[in-house]
Amino acid sequence: MTGLFELLGLGASAELLSLSGWGGNLLRGLANSLQIAFGAYGLGLVIGLFGAYGKLYGGKVTRDLLAIYTTVIRAVPELVLILILYYVGSDIINKISEGLGGGRVEINGVAAGIWVLGVVQGAYATEVLRGAIKAVPVGQIEAAKSYGMPAFMIMRRVTIPAMMSFAVPGLANLWLIATKDTALLAVVGFNELTLETRQAASSTRAYFTFFLAAGFLYLMVTLCSGAVFARVEKWARRGQPSLKGGTS
Amino acid sequence: MKLKALLAAATAAAALTAGAAAAEQVKIGIAAEPYPPFASLDSSGNWVGWEVEVIGAVCAAAELDCVITPVAWDGIIPSLTGQQVDAIMASMSITEERLKTIDFSDPYYNTPAVIVADKSMDIEATPDSLAGKIVGIQASTIHQAYAQEYFKDAELKVYQTQDEANQDLFAGRIDATQADSIAMADFVGSDTGSCCEIKGAVADDPAILGRGVGAGVRKGDDALREALNKGIAAVLADGTHEKITAKYFTTSIY
Amino acid sequence: MTGLKELMQPHRIVMMLIFAGLVIWCAVSLRWDWLPKYAPLALEGLWTTIWILAASLVIGFLLAVPLGLAQAVGPWYLSIPARTFCTIIRGTPLLLQIWLLYYGLGSLFPQFPWIRSSELWPYLRQAWPYAVLALSLSYAGYEGEVMRGAFSGVAKGQLEAAKSFGMPRFTMFRRIWLPQAIRNVLPTLGGETILQLKATPLVATITVVEIYSVSSRVRSDTFIVYEPLLLLAVVYMAIAGVITLAFRRFENG
């Protein structure tokens, strides 16, 4: 066993991965990745909610524009979108700021990452939420309307709670995509987990040690999220009869 | 969980809109990928190396408040023109091609380009000798431009970082690599580089290989260029440059 | 709403006009002078993208069938490894997997000098075998999960009927189970193929010269940022469109 470890260059792993060694860097990268993933996921949900409403109840132009948005985002590789949004985003913000007479805007890496991945997530979230809202029985919304509830209150009190159970599986999947997509930001030079891993690996030449360690960290995030989402799903389904296959 | 995510998004949006520059900080772009011994990360996450120290010295002499900002090398010029950074000090040579897009300060170091290959290989730094060989080069460098011009008969493999090219030279996936002599001297002196040796410098072509390494600034940003020129002249004059060089290298690299 | 309804026809026309205007503006005011010089390289890159995509789809699918079968009906010593494999592949970023395969394995070569004199060396030293391998494994991981559902979804009665006819197990698998399972996954296959297409540019990071890396090359040679990226996005959209149309035909036909 030790022979195999030595062979793979894992001999000095414990030392290299200690917190005072490169382990701290990996954890810092993980924190960055999670921060970006959280932000992008949140931004994606906001875009998705508006997008879904726009697609369902919006005017023709809104609907067409949203269709273009979701189609384009889902057909172009994330890596390409990230590059385009990364360069375009900062250009636009600076132009607007200059137009308003303001100075240049500093965009930190995390905010840029959130914006880029959030726009991508938004397209997928739009589709997930649209499907979920459509699955809510029309009668429930009509009943709320006939009580004279304002539109926003209907959304908050009826539509969103009722659609949650339909949306959670899709949203869980989106969260996993968000965490993994943060790795793509390594290509534009963000110090997230994958880039930290590569820097550590190429500085120490212990490729297997660090790539396996990073893989383990990502896997832990996935598995923990899976457990959390299982609970959320249970919570979202509370009060519903447990009909298997009734929600897909 | 959703609320938390929303909050995070809201803060991010706030950071995007409200983060207007408070102080006159100068963001110095360096390559996010390690480039020892000029700039690399240590295990506590700090950038160290010859160039990092020179940046500090130049900024101090020019009385600039500099922040080191790592950017992917591949997109470092777009980052400068897109205003994500204000200057590039990432071992970037001053070439005609780059001068079409950005301006440069005076040079602060200069090294020849060399060919590195396995010790057992009978390779010289000439186009004839490299014909039919696999040559690894880093993307967006003078070496890529040079190899594309002169080593037309070689198979070129383009890497995002020189480090990856070195790794593949070590692994035997490429026969040779062209890069900066100082960085390569460091590499062949390391454990992984022990496989290989510097086979010689390539024939000079100033049009492609440039006139040394300078700090890149946006076209028209003359104030910053002048300030950096002043800083570079000061560190060269007062011996700081020499002192930093002595810490890393045995010979002068200016 | 009525006002919008009246606008229903004209609004699309207006949008198309705006779009046409945008295209013309792009063609006129953006820089395209690099295009003729890089066109041959771009075509080569496009071809690489397509064949790497096709190869990884075929290999990945062939791996996904046993993975799905093992998870659906296999004994524990097959289903647990299969499930573990799928979880690991789906739980870690593809970029990390690609780098682990390429640079991780690469770092082992110098310890085994005989590798360099072996017959496989000409392949091992190139990048595309790693790219195809990593993409295939990734596709197998995702599709294996889908195939598991597809195999479980085949109606039991059909299998029992086949059994009662005395059909050998392999014939039963080949004639009834597999075709039905494939029919079950067919509607998702188009989407999965597009996802796989979107994963291909990652192999550019290990020096495979496909269409994405050609656009990077243009960017690094000429410092033109947007134009190659825009064109690249259009190319990917076109490929995705062709895939969608092909699968629609396939499903209907």
Tell me how far apart the terminal alpha carbons of chain B are, to the nearest angstrom: 56
Residue C33 lies in a domain: no
The identity of residue A167, as a single letter, is A
B134 contacts in chain C (CB < 8 Å): 125
Gap from C171 CA to chain A (nearest CA, Å)? 31
Whether residue A92 lies inside any domain: the answer is yes
- Rounded Cα distance, C148 and C78, in Å: 13
Residues C45-68 pLDDT 10s: 999 999 999 999 999 999 999 999
pLDDT at B3: 47
Q: What is the reported pLDDT for B1?
A: 44
d(CA B159, CA B138): 5
- Contact between A171 and A125 under an 8 Å Cβ cutoff? The reply is yes
Q: Indicate the pLDDT class of residue A247, thresholds 50, 70 and 90.
A: very low
State residue B13's pLDDT score: 46
Q: Could you please report the per-residue DSSP string of A8-22?
A: TT-TTHHHHHSIIII
What range does the domain containing A142 cover? 40-187
Smallest Cβ distance to C198: which of A64, A77, A187?
Answer: A77
What is the model's pTM? 0.87
In the structure encoding, which two tokens stand for residue A229, read together? 């989402």
CA distance A87 to B79: 8
The complex's ipTM works out to 0.86
> Closest-CA residue in chain A for C226?
A84
Q: Does A24 contact B191 at a Cβ distance shorter than 8 Å?
A: no
Residues C67 and C52: their CA atoms lie apart, in Å, by 22
Q: Tell me: the pLDDT tens digits for A2-20? A: 566 665 656 566 777 776 6
* pLDDT exceeds cutoff 60 at C2: no
Per-residue pLDDT of chain B (254 residues; tens, 9 = 90+): 444 454 444 444 444 443 333 347 899 999 988 888 899 888 888 899 999 999 999 999 999 999 998 888 888 998 898 888 899 999 999 998 899 899 999 999 998 999 999 998 889 999 999 999 999 999 989 999 999 999 999 999 999 889 889 989 988 999 999 999 988 988 898 887 888 999 999 999 998 999 899 999 999 999 999 999 999 999 999 999 999 999 998 878 88
What pLDDT is recorded for position B11? 46
Determine the residue type at A216: F
pLDDT single digits (tens) C66-101: 999 999 888 999 999 999 999 999 999 999 999 999
Residue of A nearest to B29 (CA): A189
Domains, chain B: 23-110+211-248 (3.40.190.10), 113-209 (3.40.190.10)
Residue range of the domain that includes C233: 209-253
Task: Give A61's pLDDT tier (boundaries 50, 70, 90).
Answer: confident
Look at residue C124 and tell me if it is in a domain.
Answer: yes
Q: Quick one: C89 and C194 in the same domain?
A: yes
Q: Is residue A242 part of a domain?
A: no
At residue C15, the 3 state secondary structure works out as helix
| C135 and C219 assigned to the same domain | no
Residue of A nearest to B37 (CA): A203
* DSSP notation for B77-94: HHHHHTTS-SEE-SS-B-
Q: How far is the C-alpha of A42 from the C-alpha of A117, rounded, in Å?
A: 10
pLDDT in tens, C105-122: 888 888 888 888 888 898
pLDDT digits (tens, 9 = 90+) for A89-107: 777 777 787 787 766 666 6
- Domain tally for chain C? 2
Specify the 3-state DSSP secondary structure of B35.
strand
Greatest Cα pair distance, chain C, in angstroms, is 78
Amino acid in the structure at residue A115: W
Residue C68 lies in a domain: yes
CATH number, residue C172: 1.10.3720.10
- Residue in the block written with tokens 């040394």: B212
Residue A245 confidence (pLDDT) above 50 = no
Any domain includes A165: yes
Residue entry with tokens 């999960």:
C145
| DSSP run (H or E) holding B253 | none
Both tokens of C13, joined, read 């026309």
CA-based torsion, A19, A21, A27, A32: positive or negative: positive
Question: Residue A144: inside a domain, yes or no?
Answer: yes
Structural domain contains residue A47: yes
Q: Which two tokens stand for residue C149?
A: 């559902």
Give the minimum alpha-carbon distance from B238 to chain A in angstroms, rounded to a whole number.
33
How much of chain B is helix, strand and coil, in % rounded to 5?
Answer: 40, 25, 35
Q: Looking at residue A100, which CATH number applies to its domain?
A: 1.10.3720.10
Contact: A79, C4; criterion CB under 8 Å: no
Asked if the structure places residue A199 within a domain, the reply is no
Asked whether the beta carbons of residue B158 and residue C213 sit closer than 8 angstroms, the reply is yes
